[in-house]
């Protein structure tokens, strides 16, 4: 796409794009707020986020597109021009934000943290059913419990969660949009890409069916289970060793997980089942302390549990 508003040599028709027949079909399966409510959309320039912006405008929501440049590859700053062009054609506002993320270990997680740190609370994202299925598998590989098996929870900030990636790509094609090609989406260093390009196709071959709808249905069932567990877990003091030891294991585990996530363990990605199990062992007296995800430490003293961040804890007297 160039500054004249052309893609593949064809004139963009985004002024009428929100009225395209495909838009109405997709919009019926989205979760945007009522017309007139302003929204901010995280728009990288990929097909999912461009579709998000188109559908937000079609939903009657005054939209602002925000592009975050991580500066991780040459030419990334130019991708903001693509987003600005589309936003302008749709009558949406636009702004660009630059963040610095150095290459190295945990790049994907650090880039995500930097991106959301630069975006306003409540920002809409273009996550689809495919993203949710991938997240379910990633969490299961980490050993997550029912909460992790939900994958990406349904939320007003994820209005496209019932759409498929193929549909966002098709919408962009129908509207003559040329999405940004992000080569990092094919980088096998990132586990999500291997799940997307290797594991899901293998599951489709083994099961002789598309696994994404199956995984999404399972995620919704786990969400119901997690909601019921959370209601019971809320009645337990997770710092009381006696209460945790006396509760059913599933309920006690949910209370521990909610407590650890609330204090910052897991960096927003949840807490694995192995960590929860070790904390319950501490509560039951099998150990006086344990390390959990990210080097945090949970210890027991005087019948109470406490948690300390990495590097900030020292052994104390235990009961």
What pLDDT score does 316 carry?
45
Contact 298, 305 (CB under 8 A): yes
Alpha carbons 149 and 153: distance in angstroms, whole number: 10
Whole-number pLDDT of residue 197:
96
Task: Report pLDDT for 145.
Answer: 73
- Cα 305 to its chain centre, rounded Å, is 30
pTM of the model: 0.80
Q: Indicate the domain borders of the chain.
A: 6-127+163-185, 129-154+187-228, 234-308
Kindly state which CATH superfamily the domain 6-127+163-185 is placed in: HUPs (3.40.50.620)
Closest CA to 56 of 8, 3, 92: 92
CA distance 49 to 7: 17
Count the helix, strand and coil residues of the chain and give each as a percent rounded to the nearest 5. 50, 10, 40
pLDDT profile of the chain (319 residues), mean per 10: 36 58 94 97 95 96 90 68 92 86 59 70 96 95 81 95 97 93 82 96 98 97 93 97 96 94 76 90 96 90 94 50
Q: Which residue is it, tokens 């289970």?
A: 225
What is the C-alpha to C-alpha distance for residues 87 and 91, in angstroms, rounded to an integer?
A: 6
């Amino acid at each position: 796409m160039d500054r004249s508003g052309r893609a593949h040599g064809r004139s963009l028709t985004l002024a009428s794009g929100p009225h395209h027949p495909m838009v109405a079909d997709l919009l019926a399966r989205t979760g945007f707020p009522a017309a007139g409510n302003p929204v901010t959309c995280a728009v990288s320039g990929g097909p999912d986020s461009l579709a998000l912006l188109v559908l937000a405008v079609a939903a009657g929501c005054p939209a602002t597109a925000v592009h975050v440049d991580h500066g991780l590859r040459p030419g990334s700053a130019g991708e903001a021009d693509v987003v600005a062009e589309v936003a302008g054609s749709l009558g949406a506002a636009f702004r660009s934000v630059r963040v610095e993320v150095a290459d190295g270990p945990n790049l994907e997680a650090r880039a995500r943290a930097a991106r959301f740190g630069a975006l306003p609370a409540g920002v809409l994202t273009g996550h689809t059913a495919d993203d949710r299925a991938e997240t379910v598998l990633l969490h299961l590989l980490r050993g997550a419990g029912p909460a992790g098996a939900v994958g990406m929870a349904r939320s007003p900030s994820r209005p496209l969660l019932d759409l498929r990636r193929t549909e966002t790509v098709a919408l962009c094609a129908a509207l003559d949009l040329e999405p940004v090609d992000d080569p990092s989406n094919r980088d096998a260093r990132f586990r999500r890409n291997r799940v997307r390009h290797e594991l899901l196709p293998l599951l489709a071959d083994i099961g002789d069916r598309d696994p994404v709808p199956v995984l999404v249905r399972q995620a919704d069932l786990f969400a119901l289970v997690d909601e019921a567990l959370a209601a019971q877990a809320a009645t337990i003091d997770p710092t009381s060793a006696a209460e945790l030891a006396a509760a059913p294991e599933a309920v006690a585990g949910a209370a521990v997980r909610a407590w650890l996530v609330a204090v910052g363990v897991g960096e927003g990605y949840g807490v694995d089942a192995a960590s929860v199990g070790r904390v319950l062992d501490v509560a039951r007296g099998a150990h006086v302390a344990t390390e959990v995800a990210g080097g945090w430490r949970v210890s027991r003293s005087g019948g109470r549990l406490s948690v300390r961040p990495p590097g900030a804890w020292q052994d104390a007297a235990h009961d």
